[in-house]
Structure 1
Amino acid sequence: MRRVDGAATPARADVERAAERIAGYARRTPVVEVEPGLWLKLETLQHSGSFKARGAFNRILSAREAGLLPAAGVIAASGGNHGLAVAYAAGTLGVRAEIFVPEVTSPVKVAGLRALGAEITQTGAIYSDAYEASVKRAADTGALELHAYDQFEIAAGAGTTGLEILEQTGGVDTILVAVGGGGLIAGVTAAVAGRARVVAVEPELIPTLHDALAAGRPVTVNVSGVAADSLGASRVGRVAFDAATAAGVRSLLVSDDDIIAARRELWRSYRIAAEYAGATAPAALLSGAYRRSPGERVAVIVCGANTDLATLA
């Protein structure tokens, strides 16, 4: 199914079209085999510092192709990374961007947004507060909304990460994906359907998909912890829930201590500068929450790098 507006679950063909559309805009980021059969997919090296640039480009370019890109430009609410991606993509494409972020957003990300020339409004305690403000503003101005995760083109664009993993590794059995609102896991699940298993990894303090799967529907969770600025959606998106349910995705929970330790290890052993969200999927392996089977080929998405470098040592 292909839609320019509203939520729908993408299929592999939609992700493949997204890959064609954003070629030349999004980077084809490297994978690193850190031990036999274990790869890290370095979305830390993506434009704007996270995988989010893929969905932002796909959403704006899709609207432009359909003649639905308004003169008012684009608007987004974000914990930081999506806003950075939208600001970067809009600047690259010559489109005005307005970004709403919650007060919890890290100063590093706010500074990055300003550097990219976006108009910034910082409001509310958590992402959902900023989102409500952005929806009202979009209704007033007519700007195109770019949802941080629960939108068809956003998820399809994010899924191009999964296509690259399969191409670059020659195929894997399992891909570990951090989940907040779920745009990345929705897209990757579509991209690798029938070719690899996808496992969700979430902070114990933000179990959006985990609790939704247990309840049989998206539910609201409390948001706190070290990864709240990136994975701080209070409810998993419908796109992600439907995709995860259809694919039989399971969710693993990791503690803040696990995430902190994984982030430290990524820097100490590989000199990979990851934010806490970026260290969440690796934390499943390092903590033992996920154990590789003998001979299992596993890829882990390190999804973001927008962090204070002074805190890495």
Structure 2
Amino acid sequence: MHQLTYGDIKAATARIAGRVRPVALSQVDPGTIRTAHRDPLDDRSGQSCEVWLAMEFMQHTGSFKARGAQNFLQAHRDAGTLPDAGVTIASGGNAGLACAWAARQQGVRATVFLPTTAPAVKVAKLRGYGAEVRLVGSEYADALAACEEFAAATGALASHAYDHPLIAAGAGTLLEEIHARIPGLDTVVVAVGGGGLFAGVATAAQAHGIRTVAVEPENCRALNAALTAGRPVDVTVDSIAADSLGARRASATALHAAQQVGVRSVLVADDEIVRARQALWDHHRVAVEHGAATALAALTAPDHQLPGRDLPTRPAAASRGYRPGSGEKVCVVLCGANTDPSDLVEPIEH
């Protein structure tokens, strides 16, 4: 299996230049995010942390997935390996949207398999991009099996929602942009489903000396379970964020990235995800999906974790949230906004 490298991410950055939207960044009001207790001998003690939001939900198709899909199809176009049968993918929604969009850009057909639990808003958008949509089973794994059968029968190019080096490398281009725009960045916080975004971001982050905080819902913890077991394992999927973070198993690429120095595995409860999503709406008028709010929930969850700089070398045991240190410069990736905003409550005016 090809191991993802920083060189893959640099190649992807060049390949998709001008084909995706540059990420928009917004700084959180100072003092909004609490900091951890710091060593009094640290010369940055007493400073508040600096937190940025990477508004990647403004990307084509409403999520970071457009980067990987564009990289995947453009690489095959460059190699002359795009078949007449087009491309096929199994996806909880966002990867399918990105694949359909990129396929339309490349002038090829897209057949997308989704579980029947996929949000209607995502199904409608897929059809709007011209994709053929097939709904199969109740979980991502069911849709994946049907997709693999279709690819074998038709010769369609099989893409993947997260477990492919071209997909992960495309996602990693996001960190390249963030690094160029936020000098001195210490930490990037990213939600994890199957691990494509995490693997790409963490690989690029390590090349720049930036730590990565990998955040998962308590009951969608494929990466944390892989860290604990030392290998990818199947987990149960039961979270409000399962529509985008509901992979049953993390990729081997993601596990390898998570085992590197400077990575923290964090779990958050569903109610904290809901609270973070509502806060983004209340204070920023940003309506993101629960998967995107999962990353922010790590910083806003109750204070049950160690200081931000005390990172274990091999983080098999997850923290319950992440508290930045004083003076720490943090970027939280808001990765997608393909959501129905009708459950967001209007704040009470005082």
For the aligned pair, the TM-score class normalised by the smaller chain equals over 0.9
Residue in 2 that maps onto 1:117: 130
> 1-side partners of 2:271 and 2:109: how far apart?
40
Q: Is contact 1:189–1:247 with CA below 8 Å preserved after alignment? A: no
What amino acid maps onto 1:252 in structure 2?
A: V
| Count of residues in Structure 1 that have an aligned counterpart in Structure 2 | 307
Question: Separation in 1 of the partners of 2:324 and 2:168?
Answer: 27
Q: CA deviation at 1:125?
A: 0.9
| Aligned residue type for 1:28 | P
Q: Match for residue 97 of structure 1? A: 110
CA displacement at 1:243 relative to structure 2: 1.7
Which residue number corresponds to residue 274 of structure 2?
Answer: 260
- How far apart are the structure 2 equivalents of 1:247 and 1:218? 19
Q: Which amino acid aligns with 1:192?
A: A
Q: CA shift at 1:17, angstroms?
A: 1.1
SS in 1 for 2:27: strand
Residue 248 of structure 1 and its aligned partner are, at CA, apart by: 5.2
> What is the distance in 2 between the residues matched to 1:85 and 1:311?
25
One-letter amino acid of the counterpart of residue 15, structure 1: I
Quote the residue 2:310 is aligned against: none
For 2:262 and 2:325, how far apart are their aligned partners in 1? Answer: 19
- Counterpart in the other structure of 1:35: 29
Q: 3-state DSSP class of the match of 1:159?
A: helix
Partner residue in 2 for 1:231:
245
Match for residue 84 of structure 1 among 90, 97, 111: 97
Q: Report whether the alignment pairs 1:293 with 2:293.
A: no
Structure-1 residue corresponding to 2:57:
44
Give CA-to-partner distance per residue, 1:254-275, whole Å, 9 cap, x none. Answer: 0110000000001110111100
Shift of 1:216: 0.6
CA deviation after TM superposition for structure 1 residue 152, in Å:
0.5
Greater mean alpha carbon deviation, residues 203-212 or residues 7-16 = 7-16
Match of 1:22 among 16, 30, 37: 16
Q: 1:241 aligns with which of 233, 245, 255?
A: 255
Partner of 1:205: 219
1:93 partner amino acid = Q
Query: Matched residues in 2 for 1:218 and 1:50: separation?
Result: 25
Please list the CA deviations of residues 58-106 of structure 1 after superposition, one character each: whole Å capped at 9, or x if unmatched.
0000111111111111000000000000011111121110000001111
Moved over 4 A (4+): none
Q: For residues 248 and 174 of structure 1, do their structure 2 counterparts lie closer, same or farther at Cα, with a shift above 3 Å needed? A: closer
C-alpha contact (below 8 Å) 1:9/1:243 kept by paired residues: no
Q: 2:168 aligns with which of 144, 155, 160?
A: 155
SS at match of 1:241: helix
CA distance, structure 1, for counterparts of residue 184 and residue 59 of structure 2: 21
Call closer, same or farther: CA 1:248–1:219 in 2, change over 3 Å. Answer: farther
Alignment of 1:301-312 (within 5 A): 301-312=333-344
> What is the match of residue 126 of structure 1?
139
Q: What amino acid is the match of 1:116?
A: Y
Residues in 1 aligned to 2:261 and 2:101: alpha-carbon distance in whole angstroms: 32
The DSSP-based 3-state class of the residue aligned with 1:190 is: helix
Task: Give the aligned residue type for 1:300.
Answer: V
Percent identity, please. 52
> Residue 217 of structure 1 aligns to a residue in which SS?
coil
Aligned to 2:264: 250
Q: What is aligned with 1:62? A: 75
Q: What SS is found at the alignment partner of 1:277? A: helix
Partner residue in 1 for 2:7: 13
Paired position in structure 2 for 1:4: none
Q: Deviations over 1:114-163 (max 9, x none)?
A: 11110000001100100000000000111111111110000000001111
Letter in 1 for 2:134: T
The answer as to whether partners of 1:44 and 1:273 remain within 8 angstroms in 2 is no
Q: Secondary structure at the match of 1:156?
A: helix
Deviations 1:6-48 (A, max 9, x none): x533212211110111112111111111135110001110000
Aligned equivalents of 1:11, 1:189: Cα separation in 2: 10
Partner of 2:45: none
2:307 is aligned to: none
Output the CA distance in 1 between the equivalents of 2:266 and 2:2.
25
Contact conserved, 1:77 with 1:101, CA < 8 A, in 2? yes
Structure 2: stretches of 5+ with no match in the other structure? 31-49, 303-320, 346-350
Secondary structure of 1:76's counterpart equals: strand
Find the aligned partners of 1:24 and 1:99 in 2 and give their Cα distance: 26
In our comparison, the structure showing a higher alpha carbon Rg is: 2
Cα distance in 2 between the residues matched to 1:8 and 1:239: 9
